[in-house]
Amino acid sequence: MTTTSQDDARAARRPIRLFRNPMAKIASIPMILTALVVFVGGTAWTVVYSFTDSRLLPRLNFVGLDQYERLWSTRRWLISIENLAIYGICSLILTLLIGFTLAAMLDRKIRGEAVFRSIFLYPFALSFVVTGLAWQWILNPDFGLQEVVRRMGWEGFTFDPLNNPDIVMFGLLIAGLWQGTGLIMCIMLAGLRGIDEDIWKAAKVDGIGTVKTYVRIIIPMMRPVFITALVLIASGIIKLYDLVVAQTNGGPGIASEVPAKYVINYMFRAQNLGQGFAASTMMLVSVIIILVPWAYLEFGGKKRD
């Protein structure tokens, strides 16, 4: 590929930047178009229509911020945001923590590493719908975990998160962690394997303990790996939908509703596109609010170095 593109560049009399590497550019046209039309275009369209009173079909009858006013005075939306925050923070911290701990443990050259790795990664092969249903059954008070423990003799044992509005989000969190940590563990493990053996030897010579070596030396060196993991976890949190639908369907009551579910419900079941668009625009805005300062720090800072 490099030779042909160099030939092409030489063949043109005045190499214009736009026409350099023409084959590569032609090949990427479909993706560029998809990105522009589907992502940028679709986003712009959604934002514009969120200011209209579209019901079942989109129509351009602008009503200003009415949809947003209604959205932020809706109890269900506020609960959804709150739930996503609880789930997001817990899931982010615990996934990283458990994922890294498991990876570090596997990296200690234990016996049967491949077996453990497969076991931990297995849940990731399941869809969220299957995960949700399986955990709905496991957490069912009448024949799941609670009943099993009770039959083992602890009569008073109570663990029924899915029917308790106060802790239902943690029932979802357990299923989410069960599914998600395996992948993060694998990424972390790859990162740990990328660390030079000599660093460990040097640390040992200097008499630094294992835990301290991890915290002070290894983790800072794994920064790119952590960022990859972070992006994967964060996108999983924002689009949290199918797990909730399969496991609790937003219940009990509206205690485990999430924003994505609000969007789908209002767009299709309530046949109120405007309200659904307003909610999805708010989801986009919240992502941007988190992403922009981070991107600024990450990429803006490098130029100054």
Partner 1 sequence: MNTVWKSLLTGTALVAAASTQAAELEVTHWWTSGGEAAAVAEFADAFNGQTEHTWVDGAIAGSGGTARPIIISRIIGGDPMGATQLNHGRQAEELIEAGLLTDLTDVAEAQNWREVINPPSLLDACTYEGRIYCAPVNIHSAQWIWLSHGAFDAAGLEVPSDWNEFVAAAPTLMENGIVPLAMGQQGWQQNLAFGTITIAVAGIDAWREVSVNRNAEVAAGPEYTAVFEAVADARELARDSNVQDWNLATNMVITGQAGAQIMGDWAQGEFQIAGQVAGEDYTCLPGLGLNEIIDTGGDAFYFPVVEDAEVQAAQLELAELLVSPEVQVSFNLAKGSLPVRGDIDLSTANDCMQKGLEILAAGNVLPSGDMNLSADTQTQIEDLMAEFWSSDLPAAEAQARYVDIIASAD
**Site of interaction with partner 1 (CB under 8 A):** 55-57, 70, 74-76, 127, 129, 141, 163, 165, 242, 249-255, 265-266, 268-272, 275
Contact 185, 120 (CB under 8 A): yes
Write the DSSP string, 221-286: HTHHHHHHHHHHHHHHHHT--HHHHHHTTT-STTTT--HHHHHHIIIIIS--HHHHHHHHHHHHHH
Q: Nearest approach, Cβ of 8 to partner 1 (angstroms)?
A: 42
| Nearer residue to partner 1 within complex by CB, 253 or 293 | 253
20 φ/ψ sector (left φ>0, alpha ψ -120 to 50, else beta): beta
Write the DSSP string, 45-66: HHHHHTTB---SS----B-TTH
Q: Nearest approach, Cβ of 156 to partner 1 (angstroms)?
A: 18
Give the whole-angstrom CA distance, residue 146 versus residue 88.
26
Q: Nearest approach, Cβ of 275 to partner 1 (angstroms)?
A: 7
| Nearer residue to partner 1 within complex by CB, 26 or 57 | 57
| Nearer residue to partner 1 within complex by CB, 100 or 277 | 277
Q: Closest Cα partner for 92 from 227, 242, 216?
A: 227
Q: Nearest approach, Cβ of 142 to partner 1 (angstroms)?
A: 8
Torsion angle, alpha carbons of 178, 181, 186, 187, to 10:
160
Neighbours of 67 (CB within 10 A): 26
Q: Nearest approach, Cβ of 190 to partner 1 (angstroms)?
A: 29
| Nearer residue to partner 1 within complex by CB, 56 or 105 | 56
| Nearer residue to partner 1 within complex by CB, 195 or 254 | 254
Q: Nearest approach, Cβ of 253 to partner 1 (angstroms)?
A: 3
Q: Nearest approach, Cβ of 163 to partner 1 (angstroms)?
A: 5
Contact 177, 158 (CB under 8 A): no
Q: Closest Cα partner for 258 from 273, 268, 269, 247?
A: 247
Q: Locate tokens 């076991």: which residue? A: 119
| Nearer residue to partner 1 within complex by CB, 100 or 266 | 266
Contact 106, 284 (CB under 8 A): no
| Nearer residue to partner 1 within complex by CB, 225 or 263 | 263
Overall residue count recorded for the chain in this entry: 305
